[in-house]
């Protein structure tokens, strides 16, 4: 029997930077074990140009990225999510739709690079830092023995990933 493919939804308010970056990283690094999506409660309507620029410079395909509402993933016909991660504080505090299938959830807050101020270099650095944080967390997710641990232990490990940058206790 083939290994399952886990659907993952990354949520943020604007769906223009952090959640799109996470979607892109997981789709690239998940090696067919994960299928990532992203959405926002109040999508900006387009990806942030600095996010697209960074992803492309790092060799990621950005052709399919778009800013979209989480409503697309809450209705009939939407893919069933196995995991839903909020990557910004606003989305974590908002009332989320009811996700069919009761996916595992966790908050992986990352500072908003789109809100960064300063020179262009300083603002671009904020995007690089968000990428680094998300990449580290996704790497930890990819190394979890998802199929062999119980739901409560998995939830604890997912929460640990969001709480710090160290590998969660085994």
- Among 12-16, 46-50, 85-89, the minimum mean pLDDT is found in 85-89
Parallel, antiparallel, or unpaired: how do β-strands 104-107 and 83-86 relate? parallel
Catalytic-labelled residue, pool 28, 96, 142, 149: 96
Is 12 marked active-site? yes
- Average of per-residue pLDDT across 79-87: 93
Scan for tokens 């067919």, then name that residue: 32
Bridge partners of residue 107, in order along the sequence: 86
Is pLDDT of 1 > 70? Answer: no
96-132 confidence digits (pLDDT tens): 666 777 899 999 999 999 999 999 999 999 999 999 9
57-66 confidence digits (pLDDT tens): 999 999 999 9
Is 88 marked active-site? yes
Is pLDDT of 169 > 60? Answer: no
DSSP string covering 25-89: HHHHHSTTSEEEEEEESS--SS--HHHHHHHHHTT---TT----BGGGGTSTTSPPPSEEEE-SH
Catalytic-labelled residue, pool 39, 84, 88, 110: 88
Is pLDDT of 92 > 60? Answer: no
Catalytic-labelled residue, pool 8, 9, 11, 12: 12
Is 49 marked active-site? no
């Amino acid at each position: 029997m083939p290994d399952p493919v886990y659907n993952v939804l990354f949520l943020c308010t604007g769906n223009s930077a952090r959640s799109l970056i996470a979607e892109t990283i997981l789709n690239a690094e998940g090696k067919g074990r994960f299928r990532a999506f992203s959405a926002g409660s109040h999508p900006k309507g387009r990806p942030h140009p600095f996010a697209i620029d960074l992803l492309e410079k790092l060799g990621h395909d950005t052709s399919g990225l778009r800013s979209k509402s989480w409503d697309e993933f809450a209705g009939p016909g939407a893919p069933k999510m196995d995991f839903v991660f909020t990557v910004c504080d606003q989305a974590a505090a908002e009332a989320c739709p009811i996700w069919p299938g009761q996916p595992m959830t966790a908050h992986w807050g990352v500072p908003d690079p789109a809100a960064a101020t300063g020179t262009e270099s300083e603002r671009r650095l904020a995007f690089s830092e968000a990428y680094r944080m998300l990449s580290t967390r996704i790497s930890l997710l990819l190394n979890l023995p998802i199929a062999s641990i119980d739901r409560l232990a998995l939830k604890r490990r997912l929460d640990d990933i969001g709480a710090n940058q160290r590998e969660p206790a085994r």
